[in-house]
Amino acid sequence: MADAAPAVSARLVCKQFDGIEVLRDVSLDVAKGSTACIVGPSGSGKSTFLRCVNWLEQPTTGQILLNGAPMGVVPSPKGGTRPMTAKELALARTRVSMVFQHFALWPHLTVLGNVIEAPVHVLGRPRDEAVEDARRLLARVGLEAKADAFPHTLSGGQKQRVAISRALAMKPEVLLFDEPTSALDPEMVGEVLEVMRDLAKEGMTMMVVTHEMAFARDVADTIAFFDAGRVIETGDPKAFFTAPQTDRARRFLTRYGI
């Protein structure tokens, strides 16, 4: 049964900030090894939804399941649930890695230090092993020569590739990308998307909030189109990009020249 469960399953997720509804009944399944791209206008709740997956935002109601196990709450024997303790939540979060729009690297640590930090100090893996792993991950994004550099000396594209290495070093079940190329100069977008394409090909499970429609069309297995806090279309990217079901999606795609 666990094998059949989607890597991520969101069920009727609602989120309100101070009574303002930002997500309403969002349901989405992401199959193991697949890539889901979350697209839609700014302010439609895409990022908030992504942040619900690793509980950086707590859904007001609804459920997130990671490979069948609920995130953020623990089923109690009498039925119903209780919130996870801080310790349980921290542990659950190690199963999901996140790549942020503004990189969010730790500036006081070297590139290598950034990549091994959480594996060593959160997962408790032996340092040597983590370093070896980190060098391999940095090599695959073409940054092995930068291992001892500090983040502020890197370009935006390099920073984001380091951030992806940092995310992979946790060996996560799911990788979340929150607009990973939105803060980059246009010339640097390609190098980051290329790394993400490779990951998708290798069967990494990914959820990507993005405005890169070409990437979404080519790489996604599933598209979720958000508008005003709801998912109003989901499904196959080909269908979505060639024959969107809703007017709203059609108008949205027109702005991208699609």
Partner 1 sequence: MNGFAIVWQERALFLEGLWNTVSLVVAAIAISVPLSALGAVVLVEAPRPVARLARALIDLTRCVPFLLLAYVIYYGLPQLGLRFDAWWAGLVTMTLYNAAYLAEIFRSAWLALPKEGFEAARAYGFRPATLYRRIVLPQIAYASAPLVGGQIIVMIKDSALLMIITVREISFAANSINANYFTPFAPFVVAIGMYWMLSLIVEAWVRRVASGARLRYG
| Residues forming the site for partner 1 (CB under 8 A) | 54, 56, 86-87, 90-94, 96-98, 100, 102-108, 117-118, 121-123, 150, 152-153, 166, 170
Q: Residue 208 or 232: which CB sits closer to partner 1?
A: 208
Provide the minimum distance between the beta carbon of 245 and partner 1 in the complex, in angstroms, as a whole number.
33
Residues facing residue 224 across a β-bridge: 38, 234
Rounded distance between C-alpha atoms, residue 172 and residue 107, angstroms: 23
Q: Residue 159 or 217: which CB sits closer to partner 1?
A: 159
**Angular region, 212: left φ>0, alpha ψ -120 to 50, beta rest:** beta
Provide the minimum distance between the beta carbon of 8 and partner 1 in the complex, in angstroms, as a whole number.
15
Q: Residue 91 or 239: which CB sits closer to partner 1?
A: 91
Residues facing residue 20 across a β-bridge: 17
28-31: long-range contacts at Cβ-Cβ below 8 A with a sequence spacing of 24 or more? 28/222, 28/224, 28/231, 28/234, 30/6, 30/174, 30/205, 30/207, 30/222, 31/6, 31/7, 31/205, 31/221, 31/222
Provide the minimum distance between the beta carbon of 175 and partner 1 in the complex, in angstroms, as a whole number.
12
Q: Residue 78 or 87: which CB sits closer to partner 1?
A: 87
Provide the minimum distance between the beta carbon of 133 and partner 1 in the complex, in angstroms, as a whole number.
15
